[in-house]
Amino acid sequence: MSTDYAERASRLPGAVLWTKGADRTGGGAGGLVLPDGCMDLLWTEGRLLVAGPDTRAFRPGPGLRGPWAGVRFRPGAAPALLGVPASALRDRRVDLADLRPGGEVRRLTGRIDAAPDPAAALEELALRLAAEAQPEDPLVRAVAGALAAGHSVAATAEAVGLGARQLHRRSQAAFGYGPKTLARILRLQRALGLARSGVPLAETAARTGYADQAHLSREVRELAGQPVTALLAA
């Protein structure tokens, strides 16, 4: 499998532009994709797709060797650009033509296929979609920011002035799932970041709000589908 993955901050605020070379083994499009609360606009030759928000680890199937480029939007940002609630795309990869007129998507795909730098052309498309979309809801950003910082769902609801049901409904549309699920996923990402930097697992668990290392291990297995030690080794 190709390992030439690279990413950089996008010109679209809060987004990341990434590229990945072709899988030369023929085994599929690459390794495990962990839940992160985000949605991606994807290009591979001849196709534009959208990756919805994941509730569990996703492993691309065979037949999609790449190369790939993607724009990863910050949590809650993509629905306004795509005109569809995030919950409709949860745990799915769909062709952009399922969400926008097919003729338009064919023209866009051909333009990006022919571009000297398909990743830059994909970023231009994301910038255009953002310019045409309604402004991002500041409440959505506030919810994502509070949960990413480790605040409880109750404290987040109080901070943004929403009741529990309102927060859940708004979160479903913006993030694809309720605030408790988003909080679990963002905590997992914080924990993995610490562990990959060399922080011992017991300390990682304590610093990210897990009851203990065993709790962290259970969450990793449930959300990533494998033991934390295997995930870190990979």
Architecture of the 5-132 domain: Sandwich (2.60)
Provide the pLDDT for residue 24: 58
Q: In what order do the strands lie in the sheet with 39-44?
A: 5-9, 16-20, 68-73, 39-44, 47-51, 93-95
Indicate the pTM of the whole model: 0.91
Per-residue model confidence (pLDDT) at position 28? 39
For 20-46, give one letter per residue: b (16+ CB within 10 A) or e: bbbbeeeebbbeebbbbbbbbbbbbee
pLDDT tens profile 97-138: 999 999 999 999 999 999 999 999 999 999 999 999 988 899
Distance CA 2, CA 20 (A): 8
CATH number of the domain at 138-233, please?
1.10.10.60
Residue numbers of the chain with a pLDDT score lower than 50: 1-2, 26-30
Six token digits for residue 228 = 């934390």
Domain ranges of the chain: 5-132, 138-233
